Amino acid sequence: MCYIDKTVDNYELVRPLIGNTTPDAVVQPQDEEELIEIVRWAILNKVPLTPRGKATSGYGGAIPVNKGIVIDFYRMKKVLAIDPKNKTVRVQPGITWEKLDTELNKQGLTLRLYPTSYPSSTVGGWLAQGGAGIGSYEYGYFRENVESAKVVLPSGDVKVFSGNELELIADAEGITGLIIEVKLRIQPREDIEVAALACSDANRLQELVNSIIESKLPIWSMIFINPKMAEMKNRAPLMEHGGHSGFHSERPEKIQL
């Protein structure tokens, strides 16, 4: 049967144990039909498959420990449909967050949240890997912002997962199937003001966060850094969303701390 590999957490630590992980082949399907054909061929020939987005994660999910074929989603990176009314977008899994955000901005829309690897990681990869990111203070984990995902199962069949079924896909790193399409929620583009606050100790920090939550302030994202990191950031040029200079509104709708 065809199966998808879930690999070890840190390649450098375990490389001596897993040996040569060079795949037998790397393929880049151009569309859903080609991908399904590859999966069904692999089933018949008992060839392992390992999905790969941009491989920005540090947990080894794209390492083909049993060799076989690496499915590289580089060519499946289209925006399939943007729905401004319902604030959703359908995309292929290989599109990067920066590219998607650029397309949304053209219609006055933007992402609800995105990973810190915004310029290079993919939508399908983050759903497979799971986790939170920039914007998660307001919108939670990425899984909570996905309406549905179309997946090629290890049997070669295609199924659309939604609701609680998405738990079988999110955070699974591809072992339950290959993600070929994602429908996620988006939001109108708004100006954001960036603010920095300092606390004398951890107790004060906890009190601050509690007061922000109780006051229901319009915070979009919140990031904590230690004093040394703050010092380094103060020495560096101010760079914000997508590597561009931060922007300011006199009456901001949301704030990033």
CB 129 within 8 A of CB 59: yes
230 torsion bin: left (phi>0), alpha (psi -120 to 50), beta (else):
alpha
**Token pair 């499946």: residue:** 76
pLDDT higher at 22 or 72: 72
Which pLDDT belongs to residue 246? 41
Which of 71, 46, 64 has the alpha carbon at shortest distance from 151?
Answer: 71
Q: List pLDDT tens digits, range 118-139.
A: 999 999 999 999 889 999 999 9
Band the pLDDT of 255: cuts 50, 70, 90: low
Looking at residue 84, its amino acid is P
Judged against a pLDDT cut of 80, whether residue 203 lies above it is answered with yes
Which pLDDT belongs to residue 256? 60
Judged against a pLDDT cut of 70, whether residue 8 lies above it is answered with no
Q: List pLDDT tens digits, range 74-100.
A: 999 999 999 999 999 999 999 999 999
pLDDT higher at 95 or 116: 95
Q: Which of 22-26, 34-38, 66-70, 238-242 has the lowest mean pLDDT?
A: 238-242
Alpha-carbon span 8 to 22, nearest angstrom: 15
Q: List pLDDT tens digits, range 139-171.
A: 999 999 999 999 999 989 999 999 999 999 999
Judged against a pLDDT cut of 70, whether residue 244 lies above it is answered with no
Looking at residue 165, its amino acid is E
**Token pair 């990425």: residue:** 142
Long-range contacts for 211-217 (Cβ within 8 Å, ≥24 apart)? 212/257, 217/255
Whole-number average pLDDT of the chain: 85
CA distances from 11 to 18, 120, 140 (A): 9, 20, 29
Which residue ranges form the domains of the chain, and what is each CATH number? 11-73 (3.30.43.10), 76-188 (3.30.465.10), 192-256 (no CATH)
Q: What radius of gyration do the chain's Cα atoms show?
A: 20
Which pLDDT belongs to residue 247? 38
Helix (H) or strand (E) holding 160: strand 158-162
- The DSSP string of 179-209 is EEEEEEEEEE---EEE-----SSHHHHHHHH
Which pLDDT belongs to residue 222? 86
Query: What is the Cα 107 distance to its own chain's centre?
Result: 22
Which pLDDT belongs to residue 248? 35
CA distances from 207 to 135, 198, 211, 213 (A): 21, 12, 6, 10
Q: Which of 49-53, 92-96, 240-244 has the lowest mean pLDDT?
A: 240-244
